[in-house]
Structure 1
Amino acid sequence: MRADSLAGRIVSVLSHRAPAFRSAPSPGTPNRLPARQPMKHLKRPGSGAGAPRAQLANVGLPNASLRGAVLAEANLRGADLRDADLRDADLRGTNLQVANLTSASLEGADLRTADLRDAHLNGCDLRQADLTGADLRNARLPGASLAHANLGGADLREAVLSDTTLHSADLQGANLRNADLQGADLRNACLRTALHAVNLDGADLRGTDLRRHRLTQGKMRGCDLRGADLRCANLAGADLRDANFAGALLWKARFEEADLSGAVFTDIDSGPWEASSHDLLYVSGARWTAATLWPSDLRTLMHARPLSVGVGVWVVHRTAANRLTVEPVSR
């Protein structure tokens, strides 16, 4: 499509929605708007019954200034919005499937129920954005900032959120099945959602409330859980190698069959770890190594004779007498 034809198409779609924008494009107008060109004409007066949706599929608008623009329910499928300024924009219900929003600024944007399936949001600024109910399946958000964003009820299945900042974000009710949160910053995030089968390798979960969460079979190698609240959480079978639980609340947390090789448990809440406590059974079947750092009372039990500690891997074993023993196993 010729550049002037594409520009004319955008104008024709939007002019009936904003009468103040009447000027026709001059010959030779480029198909992409100049960097940070004001785009207030994209605002529409209302979305009453039967109001047409803006059809802007595959449009090229990199570096465009769309701050505060109203594009609710517009069709921006496959649009090129790299480095665009969409701060405080109204994108409710907007179709942004496969759109390229790399490094775009969407701080404070309203993206409720937006369709962002397979969208590219690498390095995107989504701080304080409202993504309630948004569809982000298979979306790519590595390095994006979602601090204080609302992702309540969002669908993030198979989404890539590696190295993403989700500090203090609200993920209540979000679907994160098979999402990749490797290296993500989830400090103080609201995670009242299922985290089963989520990749949290290297994630920063310091101070996060994970009470009663099901993290079974989770990938949490090298995860930073210092000061996290894991009371009654289920981490059975999880890969927790080199995870740091220092200062965490672990009352009745379950670690059966988990891999605790090199994990740090210093200064944790001592309630469930008393050597005489029945709760020690919650670590039955767990594996650990000489590099695993236990709290003092549990360390005494683990290292007591006739249990030998040396090079290798050990497993906490429950005996018929309902007592715990430690046996060396081969790698």
Structure 2
Amino acid sequence: MTERGEDYRDAILTGQQWTQRHFEKCTFVEADLRGLVTNGCTFDHCDFTRADLGESRHTSSAFRSCTFNRATLTDSAFTACSLLGSTFLDCRFRPWTISDCDLTLASLTEASLRKTTLAGLRLREANLMGADLRDTDLRDSDLTGARLANTQFAGADLRGARIDATGLVHGKLAGARVDLDLAVAFAAAHGLHIEG
């Protein structure tokens, strides 16, 4: 059964455990969701503006096209989740644990994610413009089609990551750690002619 349009504004839902619950266009604005545990839940077009999700745990849950404006996500963990098309603006992330997740088409403009482990994530066509990804672990992540204008990658580990030519030109990759394939792609994207 799906809950549609329910208003959980300002609700105190700390420490609850939700399994296989489904929410559509529900409002969690300024809700206290600290320590919330979800497993196999779906949230479609839900609003988490200024919600506190600190220390929450999410496994195999989907947050599709949700809004997380000025939300608190510190010490939260997302495992095998979908965050497809969700928007994160001025959120508090660090420390944030996220693994085996899909952030395709997600918007993380100017997100502060320094020193976060983002290895193996699907970030295809995500908006990461101006994000602070310094010293992050992005090994084997898929950044194909991601918008990377002014994205900071200094000290980031990009070995095995997939980034297209546009991202390699617009992102600030100076000081990033890359493998040979990405180095060659970077050189080609900047107009160098590589000859054997």
Which TM-score band (shorter chain)?
A: 0.7 to 0.9
Query: Scaled by the length of structure 1, what TM-score is found?
Result: 0.51
Contact residue 161 and residue 184 of structure 1 kept, 8 A: yes
Q: How many residues align?
A: 187
Match among 126, 142, 147 for residue 170 of structure 1: 147
Higher relative contact order (CA 8 A, sep 6+): 2
Contact residue 124 and residue 141 of structure 1 kept, 8 A: no
Match among 130, 153, 156 for residue 130 of structure 2: 153
Sequence identity percentage: 26
Q: Which runs of 5+ in 2 are unaligned?
A: 1-5
- Map of 2:22 onto structure 1: 38
Cα distance in 2 for residues equivalent to 1:103 and 1:16: 25
Query: Scaled by the length of structure 2, what TM-score is found?
Result: 0.83
Cα distance in 2 for residues equivalent to 1:79 and 1:42: 18
Contact residue 83 and residue 103 of structure 2 kept, 8 A: yes
Cα distance in 2 for residues equivalent to 1:141 and 1:181: 10
Cα distance in 2 for residues equivalent to 1:97 and 1:80: 11
What is the identity, as a one-letter code, of the residue corresponding to 2:80?
Answer: S
Residue 72 of structure 1 deviates from its aligned partner by 1.4
Contact residue 115 and residue 136 of structure 1 kept, 8 A: no
Moved over 3 A (4+): none
User: Does residue 229 of the first structure (1) align with residue 189 of the second (2)?
Assistant: yes
Cα distance in 2 for residues equivalent to 1:228 and 1:59: 47
Partner of 1:111, secondary structure, is strand
> CA, structure 1 residues 69+130, in 2 after alignment: closer, same or farther (shift >3 Å)?
same
- Map of 2:179 onto structure 1: 201
- Structure with the bigger percentage of strand: 2
Max Rg structure: 1
Backbone CA RMSD of aligned residues = 2.6
Residue 15 of structure 1 deviates from its aligned partner by 5.9
Partner of 2:104, secondary structure, is coil
> CA, structure 1 residues 76+188, in 2 after alignment: closer, same or farther (shift >3 Å)?
same
Residue 228 of structure 1 deviates from its aligned partner by 2.4
> CA, structure 1 residues 67+197, in 2 after alignment: closer, same or farther (shift >3 Å)?
same
> CA, structure 1 residues 104+189, in 2 after alignment: closer, same or farther (shift >3 Å)?
farther
What is the identity, as a one-letter code, of the residue corresponding to 1:161?
Answer: L
